Structure formats: C-alpha cells, structure tokens
Amino acid sequence: MNIPEKTARYRSFGLIIESEFRLPELRLIDSADSGMNGNMPDVVITRQPLEKLWQELTKVNEFLAVGENSVLIRVPDTAIFGIKDGRTIEVSSSPTADEDKIRLYLLGSCMGILLMQKRILPLHGSAVAIDGQAYAIVGASGAGKSTLSSYLMEQGHELLSDDLIAVHIGEGGNPIVMPAYPQQKIWQESMQLLGKSTAGLKPIYKRETKFAVPVEGAFLDTPLPLAGVFELTKHDKNAEIVSIAGLERFHAMLRHTFRGFLLEPLGLMEWHFRTLSRFAGRIDMFRLSRPFDGDSLACLYRLMIQSTKKEMLL
C-alpha cells in the first residue's frame, strides 16, 4: 500500500486512517503516540484518477458501480469515490468540488461501505454510553436520534458515535461499538428544543438549518460492548416502549444498517445475516415511540433508563 507523503493520520471507528484530505472532525493521532504512529494505517485516503475505472466497472445505476472488491460512487459535480478491499478510499474530484461536501461522503457513504468490506457492521444511528455499556439509538431520518442522544449527554452520559455506528464482532460473537468522533449533526429545530444556540456553529454543507455540533467534553473514546438497541419511531400516542422479539429483530437491524440497500449488490446479504445471527439474541432490543408533537425527551429518557436497568416499564 503506497502512503503519500503529505498526509495526516487520524483514529476513528477503531481504525487508523491516513488521509490526503483534511478531516478536522476526526481526532488526530499525535506524533508522540508511538504506539499508534508506529503501525501501518488500516485505511488510506488518496487523490487518484478514477474516470477510466468508472467506465469499465458494472453499473448498478448512474451513481454506483461495482467490481471485484471495489465500489465506485459517482457524485455529479463533486467526485468519483473508489472504495477497495476495505483498505483504500480513492477520490477523483471535480475541479469545482467543495471539500466540505467531499468530506461528507468520505465520512458517510464511503466509510459505511469500507466498514462493510471489512466485515464490520455499520448501523445508522447514535451510540451512547449508559452504565459502562453502549446503546444504539436507530431510526429513520427525522426520527430524532441525535436529539435524544444529545439529551442523554445533558444527563451526564457520553457519546460514542453519531450517524454511523461501527459494530465490531469480538471474541465469542459479542458486539462492540467503536468510537467515531466528537461531533453531532443536529437540526436547528432540535437545537431550539434542547434550548441550545446555533451561534458560532457551522452549517452542514448546503443544509442551512442543520449544524455540526462539537461534543468534545461529552465524547467517550473507549470501545464498549453493545448491550442494546432502541429503534426510535413517531406516532400519535404518548411516549411508550415495547420489546422487539423474534424475527422482527433481524428486520429492524436490516432497516437500520447504514446504506443497507448496498448489501445485495455488494454480495453481502449472507454475511449480514450471519453477523446478526451471532449477536441479535445477546442484546436487548426495544421500539421507543415518541409523539409527533410536544417535548417528550424526559419521558423517553426515563423509559430508556428503566429498560437498561431491567426495571418494570410503566
């Protein structure tokens, strides 16, 4: 693996990442940290021409192409991204491309595909620490995952990941959540609900009402065992929690696998099923429903904490 000279080294998702692109969201590996710095990186991100390869590979659609151990994503007016072998991400950027947008794809879709290639389960949601264990909050876009996790941080809990959760399978098939980086992506409406100001915060690329929120003081940079999953939904009743059992556990995890629609074209359906089979029965899973209107964060939090302590749900 060729490593460019002008790079920086970062740590995220349990990986050492060497990148030609600045990734200020991630934690830099200090040059004095010889334990990490002396190792070869797990992932290398470079600038490379990919137009020819795009023409050669089999197209899934106008934005996605797959080959042996390779996936290409084409984002018009931005870049072609090539993810290969779970080890490299190559970027062929457009002359007018915005680097903020390139980073969104590098830390989002590209990293999600790379984790799949490494046979690391990527979940779409937030992960928080409760009593020394990790709990994932998953749900559809707009369900309020980041809002709820932010409320948990206000109650003294720590964040491991926001948006993309990397679940490694440890010894004995036990799932472990690896920390990502100390930042959340939160809508302005949610910031208002939490009583927080957006002054001085940077909007996410071309999303004027969604902000990158640093959470350095509430970030836990330590892997934790995954003890449970909360699927956050909306309905027209009061806040409630119910247990998810049987095959519905598999369906729920499939729904909330990050970029799960890529599993079939990448030939990873069998791996995905086997992975879930190894640990789905070892963790708690709940459907946590919030009302469409009103502030139910305190009630949702109480229901979550009760469930983690195995108390009777009221």
State pLDDT tens for residues 255-275. 999 999 899 988 999 999 999
Could you tell me which residue, 26 or 192, shows the higher pLDDT? 26
Among 31-40, 77-86, 92-101, 192-201, which is the least confidently predicted range? 31-40
**Residue with token string 């099923």:** 273
> Mean pLDDT throughout 22-36?
75
- The strand ranges marked E within 110-174 are 121-130, 133-138, 158-169
> Mean pLDDT throughout 216-236?
93
At residue 4, the pLDDT reads: 46
At residue 207, the pLDDT reads: 57
Cβ atoms of 81 and 51 within 8 Å: the answer is no
Residue 313 has pLDDT above 90, yes or no: no
Cβ atoms of 251 and 257 within 8 Å: the answer is no
Residue 192 has pLDDT above 80, yes or no: no
At residue 206, the pLDDT reads: 64
Per-domain residue ranges for the chain?
8-117, 121-308
Structure tokens at 228: 């449970």
Cβ atoms of 222 and 179 within 8 Å: the answer is yes
Residue 3 has pLDDT above 50, yes or no: no
At residue 253, the pLDDT reads: 92
At residue 196, the pLDDT reads: 77
Q: How many whole angstroms separate alpha carbon 312 and alpha carbon 298?
A: 18
Cβ atoms of 92 and 51 within 8 Å: the answer is yes
3-state class (DSSP) for residue 229: strand
Closest CA relative to residue 290, chosen from 152, 192, 144: 144
- What mean pLDDT is reported for the chain? 88
**pLDDT tens by residue, 47-69:** 999 999 999 998 989 999 998 88
Q: How many whole angstroms separate alpha carbon 77 and alpha carbon 159?
A: 34
At residue 293, the pLDDT reads: 73
Paired sense of beta strands 240-243 and 284-291, if any = antiparallel
> Mean pLDDT throughout 154-178?
93
Q: How many whole angstroms separate alpha carbon 280 and alpha carbon 269?
A: 16
| Domain at 121-308: CATH code | 3.40.50.300
Grade residue 34 by pLDDT with cuts at 50, 70 and 90: very low
> Mean pLDDT throughout 196-213?
72
Closest CA relative to residue 15, chosen from 145, 153, 112: 112
Distance spanning both ends of the chain, measured CA to CA: 56
Cβ atoms of 295 and 193 within 8 Å: the answer is yes
Structure tokens at 93: 């950027």
Structure tokens at 179: 């920390």
**Residue with token string 């990442």:** 17
